[in-house]
Structure 1
């Protein structure tokens, strides 16, 4: 009988953790994150669920004779933003996955 009570307690704890994780994930998804290229030539904004909501490009970043540089700046800004989202996700949700195999 003791195992049944422990199992029920463990199940309730897991449900609580799951509810908390869901709430934190929703909070992250609603948060805006910014990524920047060098010298802020390109600045992008994404939500925590990785949807782009804004991009600003400085006019001096637009050179019709050198479109590759603009592409590189956009990639740098997006990668910076994705890194910021990953870090925030790790910081927020990592407490739930710490010590779990494969996490």
Structure 2
């Protein structure tokens, strides 16, 4: 009687499917968690969620009075990039528990 070389394949496929389902749940939950980043000493604040979506932008009215659109654009870009970096970091931490701390390339 020979052993089936694919005997564990069914178990591996089941584990992969379970991991994918858990990852989906983590992603859903992360969309309800937010991070915040600001630029210019709080003149612009951007909020993002774990789903990598910008949910809010707050601009200090004093910035609008300055009539310097280049500065405002720079502040928006800086705060947005930082908020998205923090959101990515949040997701990486959430997924870390799923992968047992292994850094899986392309995951987050």
Structure 2 length-normalised TM: 0.77
| Structure 2 contact 39–45 (Cα < 8 Å) conserved | yes
Task: Tell me the residue number matched to 1:85.
Answer: 87
Over the aligned positions, Cα root-mean-square deviation in angstroms equals: 2.2
| Structure 2 contact 34–87 (Cα < 8 Å) conserved | no
Flag the structure with higher helix content: 1
Structure 1: gaps (5+ residues): none
Task: Tell me the residue number matched to 1:30.
Answer: 32
Count, aligned residues: 101
Corresponding residue to 1:74 among 58, 73, 76: 76
1:4 Cα offset (Å): 4.3
Task: Tell me the residue number matched to 1:58.
Answer: 60
Q: Secondary structure at the match of 1:49?
A: coil
Q: Secondary structure at the match of 2:46?
A: strand
1:2 Cα offset (Å): 4.8
Corresponding residue to 1:98 among 91, 97, 102: 102
Structure 1 length-normalised TM: 0.80
Deviations 1:1-50 (A, max 9, x none): 45444122212211111111111111112222212113111011122223
**Residues 23 and 40 (structure 1 numbering): CA distance in 2 closer, same or farther, change over 3 Å?**
same
